[in-house]
């Protein structure tokens, strides 16, 4: 009898083990990341926790109603530097024909030329924001959004950013 009990307990625990693993697997929600790829030396995939360790700056933009909104995030220039994009001293010659394609989870896309994002060309700091008023960004906006100050339309301040892709303008 004892042997049977041991066997039964073993079987039940094995079953529960496998079952709970399945449940766990189903409950794991994929973490949102932003990927930096294309003409980069070091492709990056950054989560909110990676972002938290990076230097943050503030940026403000007007929303659809014209009210100024304050955001906090990482300067796109810093992200590009980390990924080994030809910014700063290297942004000359053919590198001036490179552009940044921003892609969002709903398929929305906008572009910037690299010179629009480089402090040796402009004082405007475009950021990839992860917080507004000290709080994470709302559903449908975050976890990462672009904040482009001083633009009359907010259309390039894209929501739910998932990819920053560097490419050459080829033709």
Partner 1 sequence: MQIGSHYKKLTLLSILVIAITLIAFTGKNSLYTDPYKLEYPDYFGNRISIPENNPTTKQGVYLGRMLFYETKLSSSKTISCASCHQQKLAFTDGKTFSSGINDMPTKRNSMSLANLLWVRNFFWDGRAKGLEAQALIPLNDPHEMGAYMEKAIIDLQKTKVYPVLFRDAFGTPEITADRITKAISQFERTLISANSNYDKYLRGEYNPTEQESNGMELFMNSAEPSKNIRGASCAQCHGTPKMYMELFHNNGLDSIPKDKGREELTGMPNDRGRFRVVTLRNIALTAPYMHDGRFKNLEEVMDHYNEHIKPSKSLSVVLQNRPNEMGGKSLGLTAKEKANIISFMKMLTDSTFINNPAFSNPHLSQK
Name the residues that contact partner 1, by CB under 8 A.
Answer: 29-30, 32, 105-108, 139-141, 159-160
How far apart are CB 167 and partner 1 at their closest, in Å? 14
Three-state secondary structure call for residue 89: helix
Which residues make beta-bridge pairs with 71? 59, 132
Cβ proximity to partner 1, 65 vs 94, nearer residue: 65
Nearest 10 degrees: Cα torsion 30, 157, 96, 57:
-80
Cβ proximity to partner 1, 76 vs 137, nearer residue: 137
Q: CB of 156 within 8 A of CB of 116?
A: no
CB-CB neighbours of 154 under 10 Å: 16
Cβ proximity to partner 1, 33 vs 96, nearer residue: 33
What's 141's DSSP letter? T
How far apart are CB 43 and partner 1 at their closest, in Å? 19
How far apart are CB 109 and partner 1 at their closest, in Å? 8
How far apart are CB 34 and partner 1 at their closest, in Å? 13
Which residues make beta-bridge pairs with 44? 36
Cβ proximity to partner 1, 43 vs 140, nearer residue: 140
């Amino acid at each position: 009898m004892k042997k049977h009990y041991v066997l039964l307990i073993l079987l039940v625990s094995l079953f529960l083990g496998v079952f709970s693993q399945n449940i766990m697997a189903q409950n794991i929600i994929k973490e949102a990341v932003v990927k930096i790829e294309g003409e980069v030396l070091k492709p990056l995939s950054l989560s909110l926790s990676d972002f938290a360790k990076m230097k943050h700056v503030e940026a403000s933009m007007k929303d659809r109603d014209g009210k100024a909104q304050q955001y906090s995030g990482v300067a796109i220039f810093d992200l590009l530097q980390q990924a080994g994009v030809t910014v700063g001293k290297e942004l000359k010659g053919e590198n001036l024909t490179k552009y940044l394609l921003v892609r969002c989870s709903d398929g929305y896309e906008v572009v910037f030329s690299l010179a629009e994002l480089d402090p040796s060309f402009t004082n405007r700091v475009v950021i990839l924001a992860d917080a507004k008023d000290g709080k994470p960004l709302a559903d449908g906006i975050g976890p990462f959004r672009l904040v482009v100050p001083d633009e009359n339309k907010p259309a390039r301040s894209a929501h739910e950013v998932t990819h920053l892709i560097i490419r050459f303008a080829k033709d």
